[in-house]
Amino acid sequence: MSLDAIPIHVINAPPIEAGLTGNAPPLLRELAEQVKRLLATGEASAIDLSALPLTPADLDWLREKLGAGEISVTLQANGESTLNETACPGVWWVTHHNERGAVTSQLIEVALVPELVKAHPQDVQIGYEYLELVLSDL
Amino acid sequence: MNELQFLTWVRGPGLDIAVGIFVLGVLWRLFEIYSLGRKKDLAAPRHAAGASGLHTVFRRSIPPPGGVKRSPVSYIGGYIFHIGLAIVVFGFAPHILLIKNLTGLSWPGLPSQFIDLAAVVTMAAMVVVLVDRINKPVKRFLSTFGDWFTWTVTFLPVLTGWLAVQHLLLPYTTMLALHILSVEILLIVLPFTKLFHAFTLFGSRWYNGKVNGQRGVPV
Amino acid sequence: MSASLEKGINALKQVIDAPIASYFNSCVHCGLCADACLFYTETGDPKYTPIHKLEPLRRVYEQEYTLLGRLKKVVGLSKPVTDDELDQWQSLVYDSCTMCGRCSMVCPVGNDIVYMVRKFREGMAASGHVPDGIKGATQRTVEIGGPMGLKWPAVANVIRKAEEATGLAIPVDKEGADYLVLLSSMEIVNFPEYLEALAKIFSKAGISFTLASDAFEATNAGIQIGNSDIAKVIVSRIVDAAEKLKVKNVLSPECGHAYMAIRWEGPNLIGRPFTFNVVHVLELLDELRLKGVLKMKSTFKEPLILHDPCQIVRRGGVLQAAEPLIQQVADNYIPIVDKQKWNWCCGGGGGASAIHTDEAEALRAKVFQVKKRQIEEAGVSTMVTFCANCRIVMEEGVDHYEMDTKLLGLTELLAEHLED
Amino acid sequence: MQGPLIDTLARQGITRRTFLKYCTTLASMMALPPAAGLAMAEAMAAARRPSVIWLPFQECTGCTESITRSHSPTLEGMIFDMISLDYQETLMAAAGHQAEEALQAAMKENAGKYLLIVDGSIPLDMDGAYSCIGGRSNVEILKEAAAGAAAIVAMGSCAAFGGIPKANPNPTGAVSVSDIIKDKPIVNIPGCPPIPVVMTGVLAHYLTFGSLPELDDKGRPKAFFGETIHDRCYRRPFYDQGKFAKTFDDEGARMGWCLFELGCKGPVTYNACATVKWNGGTSWPVESGHGCLGCSEPDFWDAGGFYKALSVPADPLEFGAAAAVVGAGAGVAVSFANRAKKRAAKAAHQTTTLADLEK
């Protein structure tokens, strides 16, 4: 059961701004640094959002500032994972859910392609063997 | 005893004992001092003394003309550390909560960054005042064990409180316990050392103002 | 413990009261009182810090009237006060304290330090730890009538001369007069013009006055030495005379501690309020000035500054009278920075001027530098005051530093320029 | 079942990406840099399964519940696939003598190599008779099992610090594992219950690096217990601004302000709840509007009340009024003595004459 399935509703919800801690803006600066590094050295990096003291309002603020990009990757592996490029190419908003839909971790990755999207050589090898098999059956 | 037990002790029996001794000491000392009484002044007053005692209670908080220039460290350092202590003691939310718990009185707290700054400034001023006590011939001459001792027991609560909040030196729990313990030591020794001036200075200023007000001199 | 020491301690136990207890408990050893004391500012020696001068009194208080102090005494943490110690303190309490009360003005916790010095002297006197000079003055006052050993015939002589000079009658022992005029020995000897001036002013104002043959001396060495028993004997002469002659007011002369003795200590010494008023001569003069009686025929042209005597101004409360009076007679009055209740002492008050040891005189000369500075900063060669003792002490200082400063008494200055 | 872990997982249909995703989450929870997830996944993929013996003592089974009902059963199960759980009373099919035989067999077979997990405190009073398994006291079993263990993991506050059984007045004489075993490396994972991922994190560390993680002075893995709840709390900024909920239903509580005044023990509690959260990352006590109880700290049950702010007295001030009365009494007594003394001094007064001025 996901959270949304619980039949509760908030009365007198405080305005969104009330939940802002002021911790989000510095993250944008750190991201800028990481993007600069990616351009200069090709080194990928990430910010682990679940390890930081951020309120839901902070996260919404960040998401709004970063915007949405062209690519959305959805990974089905023990729950859904979404890897969405933001309006800044090379900056990816990565959210892992478990099979019940709860968020298990959330990151902003700075990489040309997120690690998880890349295929592992061993798996490619297995895929190749599968292809061979298919070919041999033709 | 682990640190949480230590903290629980200082918050529990420790505080109980300290506040007990403090209350006991303050009342005992106030009676001891003010019950000595004084003779009525039979001289005809120049004008009715009125509120001259009260005036002096306030007036003495302001340095005499030229005083700051002659002893800048004593006055400026003294002001900063007294005001800083007041800000830290009465402005920090957890302290207010304690006061509320003990007395029922409460007011809004100040942002902790400001309290933090006040604590650092207070400690700096206290160190400067201490150095002045060591350097200045008159102060060194007057100083007794009690002066060094009371400086220490006043400084420690600020230092340990600040270290606790900043997570320095020792784990927060231990530091918090040490902080509360240092305050308890301060409470216990206050009625029996020169720190008792926090209570008697009002009486002293009042007597001085009254006696001289009777003669027509605002002091 | 010697009998005299026991007597001294007993005297201290009598005088220690709630204010003293409050003061000692308030002291934080900040040392700011030193800044207010000319004995410290001019010598830089920390032992002259006012509160330190009271250390034996503090210990007696602590040992006798606090539970912890008693405990400390029992276990030996607090040593009892000894004769040797009081001996050592004698010079601090008498030679280097003029009871000017400036320290009481600055103490941040509000301690009235001079109040405690006055009380401490009770114990010092009762235990016999007093300088010979003040002792002699006291002896002469009690046995002969004045600190300088002056007797009535000398006064009568001054009266006769004044009558001759002014052509006015100066009544003696006249009942029902408005004012009983008191003199100080110093005025009788050094400034006999004072009486002439008064006679003129009274006559002009139409005020009746008298002198008393059995109470002409205003000064009270008992106050200076700090013994209430002796002070009471001396002040009683004035009270008795004033009541016998049924005068309305007693006029205190310029002398500073005489005013303190009669005006503020007197009723407390005899244990009841007076049936007459005590008025300082400047208060009377200022009142007459306001009534327009005090008219000047000429004015003093040279620039001059004013020295406010501690016992009359800061400790006596005659704060405002002197300035308008001096402005009336002087064209070039220059107000100094530390005036009125902030004035600096001449260095010889509280009996100090009666101590004639080499050390005491050297010290007095040294602390006179504070007045010397004031005179030099103002750039004047005339200083006016209204206390005979201040005047003599400062004249000595002026001589010592070979300055060309002229000291004047305010009443005398006024009299000189008074309309005939 | 031998061979690299990734093969075992693959046979169960768990892909490399799934495993990598899991390791990313685990690294995040262990406060390792995001890149460590990849390294961990590679090391663990090649690891082999150690034997684990789980002994339950004076406990409520909450710790086991916490682990087995952790947020993603398949993934946590995955970790259990990494180990060979040879004895766990609650979970194992065997019972009675069979179970005890399994325990003895596992201990003998893997002597010196197995990981011993303990939950529950150990009662020492009445020779340990308060809690026995198969007629043997907990303390006896623990000593025997510990002798052959490579390392011990004390799961939950009871095993780590004595927990609720040890709460005042501690009727059974309960103690922690480390009170009894002194010669083995012990990892304490306190909490009532402990956070499941801490358990899997410690196992992952053991598998990845072949050693126990770095511990603090209370034997807790620093990765999870390195900071206080307060320091990692998303409501911390409100504390710094002095914004506090005063009651559980006031405006401040609705605005999500700091719960310090409502007795939150976050400032003195070292745990990872604020970052790892509970119930599959759904929420955690402070996020649900209740202050931290401090359950992962020793003797939290006796730490002065759950709803009392840390800066207020733990006990009501008992002597306040009494002290005032005694103080006033003492003061009045002293003042009578002082007045008597002063009267005596007055009575003893001898009028000073001139002769007295000479000593």
List all residues of chain D from 49 to 88 with a beta carbon under 8 Å from chain A.
Answer: 71-72, 74-75
| C-alpha pair distances (Å), D103 with each of A61, D48, D113 | 55, 21, 14
pLDDT tens sequence across A14-38: 555 667 777 888 999 999 999 999 9
For residues D52-64, one letter each, b for 16 or more C-beta atoms within 10 angstroms of the residue's C-beta and e for the rest, the string is bbbbbbbbbebbb
CB contact under 8 A, B108 and D242: yes
**What chain D residue is nearest to C228 in terms of C-alpha separation?**
D352
**What chain C residue is nearest to D352 in terms of C-alpha separation?**
C229
The average pLDDT across A79-99 equals 90
Contacts of D345 in chain C (CB under 8 A): 10-11, 13-14
Whether residue C267 has a cis bond before it, omega within 30° of 0:
no
pLDDT tens sequence across C70-113: 999 999 888 899 999 999 999 999 999 999 999 999 999 999 99
Q: What confidence category does residue C363 fall into, taking pLDDT thresholds of 50, 70 and 90?
A: very high
- Of residues C192, C190, C212, C194, the one with CA closest to residue C202: C194
C356 pLDDT exceeds 80?
yes
CA angle B90, B95, B98 (to 5 degrees): 120
Domain residues for B126? 3-214
A3 pLDDT exceeds 60?
no
Does some domain include residue D9?
A: no
- What is the reported pLDDT for A17? 60
Mean pLDDT, consecutive 10-residue stretches, chain B (219 aa), reads 85 89 93 91 84 90 90 94 95 90 87 93 96 94 95 97 90 91 96 95 94 90
- Are residue D257 and residue D112 in the same domain, yes or no? no
Count of the separate structural domains present in chain D: 2
pLDDT tens sequence across D326-336: 888 988 988 88
CATH number of the domain at A16, please.
3.30.1370.140
Q: Which phi and psi angles does D188 have, rounded to 5°?
A: -95, 130
Give dist(CA C289, CA C321) in Å, integer. Answer: 10
- What is the reported pLDDT for C43? 94
CA distance A2 to chain D (A): 9
Residue C352 · residue C221 · CB < 8 Å: no
For the entire predicted model, the pTM comes to 0.80
Confirm or reject contact between D281 and chain A (CB < 8 A). yes
Residue C115 neighbours by CB under 8 Å, 6+ apart:
B208, B211, C19, C20, C23, C104
From the CB of residue D328, how many other CB atoms can be counted at a distance below 10 Å?
17
List all residues of chain D from 214 to 243 with a beta carbon under 8 Å from chain B.
Answer: 218, 228, 230-231, 239-242
CATH number of the domain at B31, please.
1.20.950
Instruction: Please give the class, per CATH, of domain C295-416.
Output: alpha beta
Q: What does the block give as tokens for D332? A: 């009045």
- Are residue D129 and residue D244 in the same domain, yes or no? no
pLDDT tens sequence across B34-83: 999 898 889 999 887 678 889 999 999 999 988 899 999 999 999 999 99
- What is the reported pLDDT for D1? 40
Whether residue A56 has a cis bond before it, omega within 30° of 0:
no
- What is the reported pLDDT for B167? 85
Q: Which residue reads 């601090």 in tokens?
A: C92
Q: Which of D342, D346, D352 sits opposite C126 (nearest CB)?
A: D352
Chains C and D touch (3+ CB pairs under 8 A): yes
- What is the reported pLDDT for A4? 62
CB contact under 8 A, D298 and B5: yes
Confirm or reject contact between D35 and chain A (CB < 8 A). yes
Q: What confidence category does residue C15 fall into, taking pLDDT thresholds of 50, 70 and 90?
A: very high
Size of interface B-D (CB pairs under 8 A): 144
Residue C269 · residue C392 · CB < 8 Å: no
Contacts of A50 in chain D (CB under 8 A): 28-29, 275, 281
Give dist(CA C75, CA C70) in Å, integer. Answer: 9
CA distance D317 to chain C (A): 26
CATH number of the domain at D76, please.
3.40.50.700
Contacts of B42 in chain C (CB under 8 A): 267-268, 271-273
Three-state secondary-structure class, residue C183: strand
CA distance D308 to chain B (A): 10
Contacts of B60 in chain C (CB under 8 A): 107-110
Bridge partners (DSSP) listed for residue A109: A46, A92
Q: What does chain A come to in residues?
A: 138
**Mean model confidence pLDDT for chain C:** 90
**What chain B residue is nearest to C48 in terms of C-alpha separation?**
B138
Does some domain include residue B61?
A: yes
| C-alpha pair distances (Å), B70 with each of B138, C41, C78, C214, D233 | 13, 10, 34, 50, 51
CB contact under 8 A, C104 and B219: yes
Residue that is last in its domain, among D164, D197, D225:
D225
Does some domain include residue B219?
A: no
Give dist(CA C220, CA C140) in Å, integer. Answer: 11
Three-state secondary-structure class, residue B62: coil
**What chain D residue is nearest to B99 in terms of C-alpha separation?**
D312
- What is the reported pLDDT for B124? 96
Q: Which phi and psi angles does C93 have, rounded to 5°?
A: -85, -30
- What is the reported pLDDT for C146? 77
Three-state secondary-structure class, residue D278: strand
The average pLDDT across A99-109 equals 83
In chain C, domain spans: 3-129, 134-288, 295-416
Chains A and B touch (3+ CB pairs under 8 A): no
Q: What does the block give as tokens for D301? A: 């049950």
Q: Could you say which residues of chain D have pLDDT below 50?
A: 1, 73
Give dist(CA A40, CA B53) in Å, integer. Answer: 75
Does some domain include residue D350?
A: no
Count of the separate structural domains present in chain A: 1
Bridge partners (DSSP) listed for residue D174: D123
Give dist(CA D220, CA D198) in Å, integer. Answer: 10
Does some domain include residue B97?
A: yes
pLDDT tens sequence across C294-330: 888 888 889 999 999 999 999 999 998 999 999 989 9
Residue that is last in its domain, among D225, D244, D260:
D225
Q: How far is CA C159 from the centre of its chain?
A: 25
Q: Which of B38, B197, B212 sits opposite C18 (nearest CB)?
A: B38
- Are residue D103 and residue D245 in the same domain, yes or no? no
- What is the reported pLDDT for D80? 65
Does some domain include residue D23?
A: no
Count of the separate structural domains present in chain B: 1
- What is the reported pLDDT for B2? 79
Q: What does chain B come to in residues?
A: 219
Kind of pairing between the strands at C305-307 and A103-110: unpaired
pLDDT tens sequence across C381-417: 999 999 888 998 999 999 999 999 999 888 888 888 8
Domain residues for A48? 3-137
Give dist(CA D271, CA D223) in Å, integer. Answer: 9
Note the helical H segments in chain A. 24-41, 56-66, 121-137
Does some domain include residue D312?
A: no
Domain C134-288 of CATH type 1.20.1050? yes
List all residues of chain B from 66 to 95 with a beta carbon under 8 Å from chain D.
Answer: 93-95
Confirm or reject contact between C341 and chain B (CB < 8 A). yes
CB contact under 8 A, D313 and B23: no
Q: What does the block give as tokens for D253? A: 């509580």
- Of residues C187, C350, C345, the one with CA closest to residue C265: C350
From the CB of residue C174, how many other CB atoms can be counted at a distance below 10 Å?
16
All partners of chain B with 3 or more CB pairs under 8 angstroms? C, D
- Of residues A124, A127, A108, A89, the one with CA closest to residue A30: A108
All partners of chain C with 3 or more CB pairs under 8 angstroms? B, D
CATH number for the region C3-129 comes to 1.10.1060
Domain residues for D174? 49-225
Q: Which phi and psi angles does D54 have, rounded to 5°?
A: -115, 115
CATH number of the domain at D267, please.
4.10.480.10
Q: Which of D304, D309, D317 sits opposite B94 (nearest CB)?
A: D309
- What is the reported pLDDT for B188? 95
- What is the reported pLDDT for D78? 60
| C-alpha pair distances (Å), D287 with each of B192, D32, D227, D262 | 47, 23, 18, 14
- Are residue D150 and residue D53 in the same domain, yes or no? yes
All partners of chain A with 3 or more CB pairs under 8 angstroms? D
Three-state secondary-structure class, residue C176: coil
CA angle C13, C16, C22 (to 5 degrees): 145
Confirm or reject contact between B15 and chain D (CB < 8 A). yes
